[in-house]
Amino acid sequence: MNEVIILKEAAALQIKEMMIANGEEGSYIRVAIKGGGCSGLSYGMGFDQEQGADDLVFEQHGVKILVEKENVGILKGTVIDYKQSMLGGGFTIENPNAIATCGCGSSFRTAANAGKPEEC
């Protein structure tokens, strides 16, 4: 598996619907890592209009994904899906590089990057 991000079809469909609802057709989806959370690193996802000089671009299921080059090692093999349940739906992120996650599930750390842990 050489992909940095593996975007499941359900997640891609949800992203496309969100792009239409927010007038963001043709935008990229940026998957980012930032310091914070009780385990040290947190994920971020959002729309972006432009590819930066330090970004890599991947396309899956018709969705263009941006990842900063410095985050490739942390994200390599990460699976993003969208799950629907009786309580609603939401994106799930499964990162094979995460060696620890917090109880609330919103932060993680890897063997090579402990991030900047904060209080929950």
> Residues 71-89: pLDDT tens digits?
999 899 999 999 988 888 8
What residue has token string 């994106």? 91
Listed range (4-18, 40-54, 95-109) with the worst mean pLDDT: 95-109
| Long-range interactions of 88-93: CB distance < 8 A, separation 24+ | 89/14, 91/11, 91/14, 91/45, 93/43
Q: What is the pLDDT of residue 1?
A: 47
**Pick the residue with more confidence: 115 or 19?**
19
Q: Are strands 78-85 and 5-7 parallel, antiparallel or unpaired?
A: parallel
